[in-house]
Amino acid sequence: MQLGLIGLGKMGGNMAERIRRAGHEVIGYDNAPGKRDVDSLEALVAALEAPRVVWVMVPSGDPTRQTVRALGELLSEGDVIVDGGNSKFTDDKVHADELAPKGIGYVDAGVSGGVWGLENGYALMVGGSVEDVAKVQPVFDALKPPVSTEEQTAGEAGAGFVHAGPVGAGHFSKMVHNGIEYAMMQAYGEGYELLAAVDLVEDVPGVIASWTQGTVIRSWLLDLLVLALKEDPGLDRITGYAEDSGEGRWTVEQAIENAVPMPAISASLFARFASRQTDSPTMKAVAALRNQFGGHAVHAVEAVKPEAEKPA
């Protein structure tokens, strides 16, 4: 089949290549002239045969909203837009409602796989109507991991793809996936720090690597930590500043709204906030309180001496 793909960055470019390897035609558009096959959204739509499927793979928020709305003015009844970025699930219903009067379908696809997806395949969590998802299914089949021999023998479709429900269900599922990812990464990080903090363990990278086989905590994330430690055994080349891309916050917001306890995921999100503070105001208050009620010592900020008083 034909697919229009907007956004040919690290993930989008690899996805286009994997889809092409499966025998499909991909016509790509990107703001960067060196990557794209056509020079405009108008040219992209004109190059596709109806009914068209256009996959949007640009940063979430306004870039995605603007792209979907622009496509809504260019596409026709029977066409389908797929949002494969990390959009908030509440945006999906807005887009679907805006496109519905024009007869344009909308599918939200949560995609996991990162830069490794080209070779390993991508996990896909999809929301939309049965009819719209069916129009995109050949592309989903090209992107997802291959079915194992055991699954083929059992007649199963294989993991890596799910039609999670109506519009919004795909991005909601990916949001929860990323919230779990936050907590797993935090646990691995804390375990690494404790191992590195004691003199007893002489080969911290080796211990981490030993966990990748035969243990209940083995995972792809653990494999990636092993790779990171192989490249930089003491993690000396990077700082401990960790960003969050939004999904962890949205997961905690939904936990509050639905009264679902999420202590691990919440703590992992707040730990990322703490990583951005070189001198935490919270811990300043804690230290001050310990000094006030118990006379516990505090570490005073060293006064900055005038230039004339500084040692040569």
Active site residues: 174, 181
Concatenate the DSSP letters of all residues of 44-103 into one string: HHHHSPSSPEEEE-S-TTHHHHHHHHHHHHH--TT-EEEE-S---HHHHHHHHHHHGGGT
Distance between CA atoms of residues 72 and 83, nearest Å: 13
Distance between CA atoms of residues 159 and 124, nearest Å: 9
Contact 190, 208 (CB under 8 A): no
27 three-class SS: strand
DSSP class of residue 116? G
5 three-class SS: strand
Other beta carbons within 10 Å of 276? 13
